[in-house]
Amino acid sequence: MNRSLLLACGTLAALAAVLLRMVAGPPGLGWTLAAWALFAAALWLVRRVPERRLGALVVAGGILLAATGLAAPPSSSTDSFRYAWDGRVQAAGISPYDHPPADPALAGLRDDWLFPPACDAPRLWPLPGDGCTRINRPAEPTIYPPVAQGYFLLVHWLSPEGSRHKVLQLGGWVMAVLALVALCRTAGARRAAYWAWCPAVPIEAVNNAHVDMLGVLLVVLAFGAVGAAGAGRARGTLLGAAVAAKLLPATALPGALSGVLANGVAWRRLLVTMVPAVLVVALSYLPYVLASGTAVLGYLPGYLEEERYDGAGHGNRYAVLRLLLPDSWAPYAAIALLVLVALLVLRYGDTTRPWQGALLVSGSLLLLFTPGYSWYALLVVALVAMDGRGEWLGAALAGAVAYTAGPADPDNLGAPFYAAAVLAVLIGWAVRRPRPAEVRP
């Protein structure tokens, strides 16, 4: 083993130690920055190592680093408690969209884990009247789409008595490893290292068990079908399932249709991809619509208002645009720019590299809307691993900094990190631009 590989192994061991410290308690801004610095150092150390010698380290390192997320209960998010509750409610034959957790009609499903009798522990939410719960926003209905709900129900069925959060974390680890294997096959070990060693994977996909991981896996599998017979239909089906798992993968759809407007409208390719996607979303929603009607929207409208996406001037949304524009213009500018980016992908995108267009749209969404939740960037990390444009990882780092420092804190460092991420992407674009051929006399 050469010196670079030895140093990379040591760096990854240090990263594993930092990740174990992060999952043992609130991650802390210093630990977050340290983890990302070690991640960047490991990538730098192996930049000249031949691909054939890198595969074992990428796969083994990815499996072990992801497993650090299993070492402790969720460290910085309570979302997985809602997942467990939604699975339990469905197993009782009740639509998760019909009642919020605080509804007395569901009192018979409560236990001492999700509804502890003593309310003196941290990160508990009060119930109307009396009592408390680990489930965030207990007076609001669920926000999660139907494929995610199917996953929650499956996890509930597979969970032994008393397993609590552990099966959800194990599910996140299995999906992260499956995504790693798929990325190695599609993009090669060197690019797969962007996913395998990224701190966001063990923290958000495994330890906090965010269901975003399910959507990411489906997108990776969808784009891995390039060149296969029936790839368009398979890709559309998988992308539809991804959208019905966490909505954000909808930003991958323009990538799947890259270049569809290059010469008029390529109707056949458009329909072959979009019809299966729309059918999957519609059919997955159908049972819940029949049971709950328009309540299937759940808490989504309230969430958008809570996160200040309905306007600017408060919180940290549209942080980069608000450095350049009046606050009231920022939401409209963000939507217009995102639509423009999607149209550019549809017109000029590379049909042989659909993940490139998906990365451009998904990454632009983060940089324009500047969310305060780090797990939203898992899709961008996976697409970076497919495309190799590491400069987009700045969006994932900015999200991690914003969340660790407090997504609602107006003085947190999310805004400058997002601004730096935009600058990194622009520099990367300038460096990668094709140079015009020199004119020779």
pLDDT digits (tens, 9 = 90+) for 96-128: 999 999 999 999 999 999 999 989 888 899 998
DSSP states of 73-107 as a string?
A: S-SS--HHHHHHHHHHHHHTT--TTT--TT-GGGG
Could you write out the three-class secondary structure of 204-221? Answer: HHHHCCCCHHHHHHHHHH
Residue 315's pLDDT is: 66
The residues near 62 (Cβ < 8 Å, ≥ 6 apart) are 176, 177, 180, 192, 193, 195, 196, 197, 201
pLDDT digits (tens, 9 = 90+) for 375-402: 999 999 999 999 999 999 999 999 999 9
Tell me the backbone φ, ψ of residue 358, rounded to 5 degrees. -65, -40
Is the predicted pLDDT of residue 158 greater than 70, yes or no? Answer: yes
pLDDT digits (tens, 9 = 90+) for 200-228: 999 999 999 999 999 999 999 999 865 55
pLDDT digits (tens, 9 = 90+) for 414-430: 889 999 999 999 999 99
- In three-state secondary structure terms, 138 is coil
Mean pLDDT of 326-338: 93
For residue 290, how many C-alpha atoms fall within 13 Å in the half-sphere facing its CB?
5
What pTM did the predictor assign? 0.94
Confidence bin at 435 (pLDDT 50/70/90): low
Confidence bin at 438 (pLDDT 50/70/90): very low
Mean pLDDT of 27-43: 95
Mean pLDDT of 290-299: 87
Structure tokens at 82: 């809602």
For residue 82, how many C-alpha atoms fall within 13 Å in the half-sphere facing its CB?
27
Is the predicted pLDDT of residue 287 greater than 90, yes or no? Answer: yes
Mean pLDDT of the chain: 92
Confidence bin at 355 (pLDDT 50/70/90): very high
In terms of Cβ atoms closer than 10 Å to its own Cβ (0-12, 13-18, 19+), residue 25 is exposed
Nearest to 170 by CA among 270, 78, 70: 70
Is the predicted pLDDT of residue 370 greater than 80, yes or no? Answer: yes
CA distances from 299 to 99, 141, 182, 407 (A): 11, 6, 33, 19
pLDDT digits (tens, 9 = 90+) for 52-97: 889 999 999 999 999 999 999 999 999 999 999 999 999 999 999 9
Q: Are 132 and 126 in contact (CB under 8 A)?
A: yes
Cα separation, 334 vs 321, in Å, equals 8
pLDDT digits (tens, 9 = 90+) for 166-179: 999 999 999 999 99
H or E stretch covering 226: none
Nearest to 188 by CA among 350, 42, 55: 55
Residue 230's pLDDT is: 55
Is the predicted pLDDT of residue 325 greater than 80, yes or no? Answer: yes
**Looking at this protein, which amino acid is placed at residue 378?**
L
